[in-house]
Amino acid sequence: MSHPSNTDWPPGFAVQPSPKSVPGNLIEAFSRLPSSAVADCMGRTAGSVGLRAYHRPHSLSFAGPAVTVRVRPGDNLMIHLAIAQARPGDVIAVDGGSCLSQALVGGLMRTSALSRGVAAFVIDGAVRDLDEWEDGRLPVYAMGHSPRGPSKDGPGEINVPIACAGMAVVPGDLIVGDSDGVVTVPREDVGDVLARTHRHLEVERQIREQNQNGEQDLERFYRILRSKGCPIEKSV
């Protein structure tokens, strides 16, 4: 779907083209990784805050490139346009200002998104028609829910940098989600983060095996205590 250049749009409205997608093999690889491990490999400060999964089962995992939408709180006009131009596998991330007074996405929009092959919604705002989301066909994360419907007046912007549930999201970033929540990986870092996450999971596997055998690696915690001036001399 083509749109006029942004110079033709009124103030407050903008539609930027979607950037080139993350390679499919990387998307597939991330879809099998736990979001917590990905977050650990990004400094433990990356990842969603306050989102709730409204689909079933919550363990449903996904990964896909971000189509970002910034809307006026309580208005979903530009989310409709984002769905219409979404590519199969895209994740629609919405900056709704954490407003819970009016739902931004509901059952009818869900049906449209399914027909477009949208992989998931991540909404810093509210949703409604909860029964329809529970069949597990389309993951949706939101800050809350409300029966009150949205306005459709705008303004709003598509494919611009946004803040969403404590995350900075740039169009084309890779969004990874599962039962723990959602993590955004900058598009330029996906290969490096993938490799680091695999190494991290192997370390966790070894630690878990030690713990199961009663062989806790207390020395690594003692080293931290020593660095803070605690008089720990050796492991016991």
pLDDT in tens, 148-207: 999 999 999 999 999 999 999 999 999 999 999 999 999 999 999 999 999 999 999 998
pLDDT in tens, 38-67: 999 999 989 999 999 999 987 789 999 999
Backbone CA torsion sign across 152, 154, 158, 162: negative
Crossing angle for the helix pair 107-116 and 77-85, nearest 10 degrees?
20
Q: How confident is the model at residue 11 (pLDDT cuts 50, 70, 90)?
A: very high
Q: What is the pLDDT of residue 60?
A: 86
Query: Mean pLDDT over residues 23-35, rounded?
Result: 97
Provide the H-helix boundaries in the chain: 24-30, 35-40, 77-85, 107-116, 130-133, 190-212, 219-227
Residue type, 220: R
Q: Within 10 Å of residue 226's Cβ, how many Cβ atoms?
A: 12
- Tell which CATH classification among 3.40.50.720, 1.10.287.1770, 3.50.30.40, 2.30.30.40 matches the domain 6-194: 3.50.30.40
Please report, for residues 122, 196, 204, the alpha-carbon distance to residue 223 in angstroms, rounded to integers and kept in the order given. Answer: 40, 23, 19
Q: What is the pLDDT of residue 6?
A: 63
Determine the Cα–Cα distance for residues 229 and 223; give it in Å rounded to an integer. Answer: 10
